[in-house]
Amino acid sequence: MSCGGETPLYHHNMELMKSQGKVIYLQASLSAIIQKLKASNGFEKRPLFQKSQSPEQILKNLLEEREPTYKKADHIIEIDRLENPLNEILRILKV
């Protein structure tokens, strides 16, 4: 299951998800996320980034706030260094 970025942050959701299966955090660098959002017009599509603060700064602040919870995942895959993260996910899940 893939969840939205805020899901693990509330109501003990991370613990609940971990109790139901393996939780994998697909970690990307800030620069990679920014590049992806720019390429897909993601900054323009998301209301969160329409605030007066720069979209890059908003994203940086979000990552700083969320990453401690994300790092509680059972596995962390640094996707910037992988050509195909799916192979690593399948290895972890032993599929």
pLDDT in tens, 40-69: 998 888 888 887 789 899 999 999 999 999
User: What's the predicted TM-score (pTM) here?
Assistant: 0.85
Band the pLDDT of 26: cuts 50, 70, 90: very high
Burial of 23 (0-12, 13-18, 19+ CB in 10 A): buried
Q: Can you tell me the distance from the alpha carbon of 34 to that of 69, in angstroms, rounded to the nearest whole number? A: 21
**In terms of Cα–Cα distance, which of 11, 6, 8 is closest to 74?**
8
Output the pLDDT for position 22: 94
| Percent of the chain scoring above 90 in pLDDT | 72
